[in-house]
Amino acid sequence: MLSYSFGPYVFVPERQSLWRDHTAVRVGSRALEILAALIERPGEVVGKAELISRAWPDTFVEQSNLKVNVAALRRALGDAPDGTQYIATVSGRGYRFVFPVSVSGQSAAAVAAKFQGGRANNLPVSTTRLVGRDHAIDAIRAALEASRLLTIVGPGGVGKTRLALAIAGRLTAAYEHGVWFVDLATVNDATLVPTSIATALGLRVHSANIKAAIAAFAADRKFMLVLDNCEHVIEAVAACVEALLAAAARVRILATSREPLRLLGEQVYRLPPLETPPKVSRLSAGEALAFPAVELFVERAAGSRGVFVLEDGDAPVVAEICRRLDGLALAIELAAPRLDAFSTSELLGFLADQSPVLSDRRGGDTRHHTLAATLDWSFGLLAEPERVLLRRLSVFAGAFSVESACVVAVDKGRARSECIHAIANLVAKSLVSIERGEFGTLYRLLDTTRSYALQKLAESGELDLLRQRHAEHLLELAERAEAEWKIRPTAQWLAEYGRKMDDIRSALGWAFSGNRSIAIGVALTVAAVPFWEHLSLVEECRVRVEGALSSSFANFRGVRDDMKLQFAYGTALLHTRGPLLEVQAAWTTALGCAESLHDTDYRLRCLWGLCDYFTWTGDHRSALAIAEKIRVLATDRGDVNARNNVDRQTGTALRYLGELGEAQRHLERMIARYIPPVARSDIARFQLDPRSAARGTLANVTWLQGHPERAVAMAQRQLEEARAAQHALALCNAVVHTTCPIALLTGDLAAAERLLVGIEAHVAEHAMTVWAAMSRCLRAEWLLQGDDASGLPMLRSALDELLAVHFRMRCPFYMGFYAAALGTHGDVDAGRTAIDEAIALSASTGETWCMPELLRIKADLLSTESTHRTAEAAEALYMQALDLARRQGALSWELRAATALAEHWLRTDQGAKAAGVLAPVYRRFKDGFATCDLLKARTLLNGLGDAGKRRVAVFDATSGKVSNPGQ
In single-letter form, the type of residue at position 110 comes to: A
Q: Report the length, in residues, of the chain.
A: 967
Strand order in the sheet with 3-6: 23-24, 17-20, 9-12, 3-6, 102-104
Distance CA 360, CA 819 (A): 79
Res 954: pLDDT: 41
Range from 1-5, 361-365, 466-470, 642-646 that averages highest in pLDDT: 466-470
Model pTM?
A: 0.72
Distance CA 878, CA 892 (A): 14
Structure letter (DSSP) for residue 719: H
Q: Which residues partner with 963 through β-bridges?
A: 954
pLDDT digits (tens, 9 = 90+) for 883-908: 999 999 999 999 999 999 999 998 87
Asked if residue 624 lies in contact with residue 643, where contact means CB atoms within 8 angstroms, the answer is no
Neighbouring C-alpha atoms within 13 Å toward the C-beta of 316: 6
Give me the mean pLDDT over the 433-457 stretch.
Answer: 82
In single-letter form, the type of residue at position 938 comes to: R
Instruction: For the chain, count helices (H), then strands (E).
Output: 47, 17
Res 105: pLDDT: 59
Asked if pLDDT for residue 961 goes beyond 60, the answer is: no
Distance CA 61, CA 52 (A): 8
Give me the mean pLDDT over the 595-602 stretch.
Answer: 94
- Of 663, 644, 645, nearest in space to 654 by CA: 663
Asked if pLDDT for residue 929 goes beyond 70, the answer is: yes
pLDDT bucket at 109, cuts 50 / 70 / 90: very low
- SS3 per-residue string spanning 838-874: HHHHHHHHCCCCCHHHHHHHHHHHHCCCCCHHHHHHH
Within 8 A by CB and 6+ apart from 56, the residues are: 30, 65
Distance CA 558, CA 570 (A): 18
pLDDT digits (tens, 9 = 90+) for 215-270: 888 888 899 999 999 988 999 999 999 999 999 999 999 999 988 999 999 999 99
Distance CA 220, CA 818 (A): 31
Structure letter (DSSP) for residue 226: E
Asked if pLDDT for residue 385 goes beyond 80, the answer is: yes
The burial of 516, by beta-carbon neighbours within 10 Å (0-12 exposed, 13-18 middle, 19 or more buried), is given as: middle
Res 521: pLDDT: 94
Distance CA 79, CA 71 (A): 13
Res 127: pLDDT: 66
Which helix (H) or strand (E) segment holds residue 433: the answer is: strand 433-437
Neighbouring C-alpha atoms within 13 Å toward the C-beta of 390: 31
Res 59: pLDDT: 56
Distance CA 455, CA 435 (A): 24
The burial of 171, by beta-carbon neighbours within 10 Å (0-12 exposed, 13-18 middle, 19 or more buried), is given as: middle
Give me the mean pLDDT over the 394-418 stretch.
Answer: 91
Neighbouring C-alpha atoms within 13 Å toward the C-beta of 723: 20
- Of 616, 936, 953, nearest in space to 774 by CA: 616
pLDDT digits (tens, 9 = 90+) for 318-345: 999 999 888 889 889 888 988 888 889 9
Within 8 A by CB and 6+ apart from 632, the residues are: none
Within 8 A by CB and 6+ apart from 697, the residues are: 648, 651, 652, 655, 663, 667, 737, 738
Distance CA 764, CA 768 (A): 7
Distance CA 85, CA 396 (A): 58
Res 400: pLDDT: 92
Give me the mean pLDDT over the 22-46 stretch.
Answer: 83
- Average pLDDT over the chain, rounded to whole? 86
Asked if pLDDT for residue 108 goes beyond 70, the answer is: no
In single-letter form, the type of residue at position 609 comes to: G
- Of 180, 153, 184, nearest in space to 165 by CA: 180
Give me the mean pLDDT over the 661-673 stretch.
Answer: 95
Asked if residue 775 lies in contact with residue 760, where contact means CB atoms within 8 angstroms, the answer is yes
Structure letter (DSSP) for residue 308: -
Give me the mean pLDDT over the 371-398 stretch.
Answer: 88
Res 339: pLDDT: 87
Distance CA 360, CA 450 (A): 23
Question: Which stretch of 124-133, 328-337, 362-371, 532-541 has the lowest confidence by average pLDDT?
Answer: 362-371
Res 117: pLDDT: 39
Asked if pLDDT for residue 49 goes beyond 90, the answer is: no
In single-letter form, the type of residue at position 848 comes to: T
Distance CA 740, CA 785 (A): 13
In single-letter form, the type of residue at position 62 comes to: E
pLDDT digits (tens, 9 = 90+) for 60-93: 556 777 888 888 888 888 888 777 788 988 877 7
DSSP assignments along 549-603, one per residue: T-GGGGGG--HHHHHHHHHHHHHHHHHHH-S-HHHHHHHHHHHHHHHHHT-HHHH
Asked if pLDDT for residue 390 goes beyond 70, the answer is: yes
